[in-house]
Amino acid sequence: MQTSVTNQRSPAPGRAAATRMKQRRGRLAMLGERAIEALIHLCGYSAIIFVFGIFFFVFREGAPFLAKLKPGEFLFSIDWFPTSQTNAKYGVGALIVGTLSVTGLAMVIAVPFGLGAAVFVSEFCTGKTKETLKVVIELLAAIPSVVWGFIGLTVMAPIIIKTFHVPIGVNMFNGALLLALMSVPIMVSIGEDALKAVPDSFREAGIAMGATRWQLIWRVLLPAAKNGLLAAALLGVARAIGETMAVLMATGHSVRIPHSIFDPVRTLTATIAAELGETSKGSDHYQVLFLIGILLFSITFVVNLTADLIVKGIKQK
Amino acid sequence: MSDAPAISITTRDLNLWYAKFQALSNITVDIKHGLITSLIGPSGCGKTTLLRCFNRVNERYGYVTTKGEIKLLGKNIYDPDVSLVELRKSVGMVFQRPNPLPISIYENVVFGIRIHHERSQLTRSALDEAVEKALTEVGLWKDLKDRLDQRATGLQLEQQQKLCIARLLPLKPEIILMDEPCSALDVEGTRAIEELMFELKGRYTIVIVTHNMAQARRTSDECIFMLMGEFIEHARTAEMFVSPKNPKTAEYIEGRYG
């Protein structure tokens, strides 16, 4: 390292070159450089500005209702009658249960599939198969959520009715399946990165001791990549919680505590999407919907932050 | 009992290709039981490749073709009925960089036992005993007995490398392969590993790949010199370093190339 630095600063011929260089660079070029530098800085900071901007805006719209709000009733009551003329009630308990149950069920389906696929892509595939699979999986992530919702509504609902002999096809199970399919790609690509980061020397150690492929995965790779895989699962969760369009179309959209996975439910996100257009600006209903937005924002923020901290934890080691 | 020492590993006309590149040509050697044998030669001469043939760990890359015969303890390891799992159980390997698994010290030592036995066959006391025995044998027991549940990757490099040797012992291997086991260690660590090799000698056949001529001379009973994927000379260490038969060996040992 040191020698190369001294080489670059070798004095005599360098100085002459430097003066020549100065002359060639006009004032305009310098100005352009500055401008581009500023622009790049701006791009970098804009992410932070936008996040805070959005949070500020959502909070400003929802905040006035906080004064009238009874937190216990808001969070735990299952009475959601926002449009009642005489006795409007804003309890999001059932919506929270809806979001959590759909997300939970989705994760029960998606985590084994997603992480299994990550192991498959990373440890079993080589060359062309691997590249093809990765591209296809990423393509899965590119399908718009409204298309997923459409599939849920028209393709999956009849299948669910037929297969499970239930009266309604648009229900929690339908929504969860869609969410699972939507969060699998993110889990695969992050999970695969985590497995790729496991040093090959661990694999060699296991193989040289006579571990079978399965033993190698179970006893060496999964413990070694555990944090990264956990982060992958959490980012999948964050994706699923925030998803709106597909669950709005496929879960049946009825406010209630589900008793089986074939009951229709309604989620926080779907409620906002469906009702915000119908409210008048500044009304209680309008403000409550923004409060729900804050709630969602906080949940995904916590999940993302946890995932991020876990990933950082890996890098430090 | 005859006086001629038993042979642990024999190869006959062993050829190996990485895709189209021939890394080993017509290697025919006999490695004696219970001795320390060094594989020496300049970088890229195929000595690590040869070592990695003995437990067939080479084959994890799909593009390797092998021809010829390797007999370990009288059995051709390329026979179709050979179980890779059993082969690797009886042939332990120590790597260039210490590679303990990212689990506890205790679990590292019993890893081999766990993967080669049904869960129901294992008792806690048997595992405890195996850990104590293996760690005592490599001289780590005194230092580590109170922190067996710590992560093995946090140990000093020398301890890590000893642990990597210790974890082979519960499987009672016949042969231990070492791929430049000291190249990541300092002087003290190197000495410790070499002393350990002397302790293990006799009970295990040890094959070591080394770049370090002095180390080959200090540690091994016999040396095999290789060049460009070919076998050049196999002799007792003292003979090879004092009066090498092949001029190429002489030049390498003198440091004319390498």
**CB within 8 Å: B99 and A126:** no
User: CB-hemisphere CA count at 13 Å for A299?
Assistant: 18
Q: What is the mean pLDDT of residues B65-81?
A: 89
Q: Is residue B170 in a domain? A: yes
Q: Is residue B97 in a domain? A: yes
In whole numbers, what is the pLDDT of chain B averaged over residues? 90
Chain B positions in Cβ-Cβ contact with residue A126 (cut-off 8 Å) = 62
> Which range of residues forms the domain containing residue B26?
7-254
**CB within 8 Å: A215 and B115:** yes
Handedness of CA B147, B148, B152, B158 (dihedral sign): positive
* A229-258 per-position pLDDT tens digit: 998 999 899 889 989 999 999 998 888 888
Stretch 224-243 of chain A: residues touching chain B, C-beta under 8 Å: 224
What is the per-residue pLDDT for A15?
Answer: 64
Checking if the pLDDT of A272 tops 90, the result is yes
**CB within 8 Å: A220 and B101:** yes
- Tell me how far apart the alpha carbons of residues A245 and A143 are, in angstroms, rounded to a whole number: 12
Checking if the pLDDT of A21 tops 80, the result is no
Q: Is residue B2 in a domain? A: no
Checking if the pLDDT of B205 tops 90, the result is yes
B105-116 helix and B157-166 helix, angle to the nearest 10 degrees: 20
**Domains of chain A by range and CATH?**
2-68 (no CATH), 80-316 (1.10.3720.10)
Checking if the pLDDT of A295 tops 70, the result is yes
* B15-41 per-position pLDDT tens digit: 999 989 999 999 999 999 999 999 999
Say if CB A234 and CB A310 are below 8 A apart.
yes
Task: Kindly compute the dihedral angle of the four CA atoms of residues A139, A140, A146, A148, in this order, to the nearest 10 degrees.
Answer: 150
| B99 contact A CB<8A | yes
Say if CB B115 and CB A210 are below 8 A apart.
yes
Tell the burial category of B14 from Cβ atoms under 10 Å away from its Cβ (0-12, 13-18, 19+): buried
Checking if the pLDDT of A150 tops 60, the result is yes
| Domain count across chain B | 1
Label residue A5 by pLDDT band (50, 70, 90).
very low
Type and span of the H or E element at B51? helix B47-53
Tell the burial category of A275 from Cβ atoms under 10 Å away from its Cβ (0-12, 13-18, 19+): middle
**CB within 8 Å: B115 and A204:** no
**CB within 8 Å: B168 and A223:** no
* A165-210 per-position pLDDT tens digit: 999 889 999 999 999 999 999 999 999 999 999 999 999 999 999 9
Chain A positions in Cβ-Cβ contact with residue B86 (cut-off 8 Å) = 210
Among candidates A211, A212, A223 on the partner chain, residue whose Cβ is nearest the Cβ of B103: A223
Label residue A316 by pLDDT band (50, 70, 90).
low
What is the per-residue pLDDT for A29?
Answer: 85
How does DSSP assign A41-110, residue by residue?
HHHHHHHHHHHHHHHHHHHHHHHHHHHH--HHHHHH---EETT-SS--EE--HHHHHHHHHHHHHHHHHH
Label residue A2 by pLDDT band (50, 70, 90).
very low
What is the per-residue pLDDT for A13?
Answer: 57
Please name the residue that has the structure tokens 């939507």: A182
Best CA proximity match to B93, nearest among B203, B15, B206, B183: B206
User: CB-hemisphere CA count at 13 Å for B224?
Assistant: 28
Quote the ipTM score: 0.87
- Find the CATH number of the domain harbouring B218: 3.40.50.300
What is the per-residue pLDDT for A309?
Answer: 87
Please indicate whether residue B47 or residue A4 has the higher confidence score (pLDDT).
B47
What is the per-residue pLDDT for A1?
Answer: 40
Among candidates B87, B101, B116 on the partner chain, residue whose Cβ is nearest the Cβ of A205: B101
**CB within 8 Å: B57 and A204:** yes
* B150-180 per-position pLDDT tens digit: 999 899 999 999 999 999 999 999 999 999 9
Q: pTM value?
A: 0.79
Q: Is residue B159 in a domain? A: yes
Q: What is the mean pLDDT of residues A65-80?
A: 85
* B93-138 per-position pLDDT tens digit: 999 999 999 899 999 999 999 999 888 888 899 999 999 999 998 9
What is the per-residue pLDDT for A256?
Answer: 85
Say if CB A171 and CB A263 are below 8 A apart.
yes
Please name the residue that has the structure tokens 């890779």: B84
Checking if the pLDDT of B70 tops 90, the result is yes
How does DSSP assign chain A, residue by residue?
-HHHHHHHT-HHHHHHHHHHHHHHS-HHHHHHHHHHHHHHHHHHHHHHHHHHHHHHHHHHHHHHHHHH--HHHHHH---EETT-SS--EE--HHHHHHHHHHHHHHHHHHHHHHHHHHHIIIII--HHHHHHHHHHHHHHHTS-HHHHHHHIIIIIHHHHHHHHT-S-SSSHHHHHHHHHHHHHHHHHHHHHHHHHTS-HHHHHHHHHTT--HHHIIIIIIHHHTHHHHHHHHHHHHHHHHH--HHHHHHSB---S--SSTTS-B--HHHHHHHHGGGSPTTSHHHHHHHHHHHHHHHHHHHHHHHHHHHHHHHHH-
What is the per-residue pLDDT for A14?
Answer: 58
Q: Is residue B1 in a domain? A: no
- Tell me how far apart the alpha carbons of residues B128 and B195 are, in angstroms, rounded to a whole number: 25
- Tell me how far apart the alpha carbons of residues A16 and A38 are, in angstroms, rounded to a whole number: 31
Label residue A314 by pLDDT band (50, 70, 90).
low
What is the per-residue pLDDT for A24?
Answer: 62
In whole numbers, what is the pLDDT of chain A averaged over residues? 87
| A208 contact B CB<8A | yes
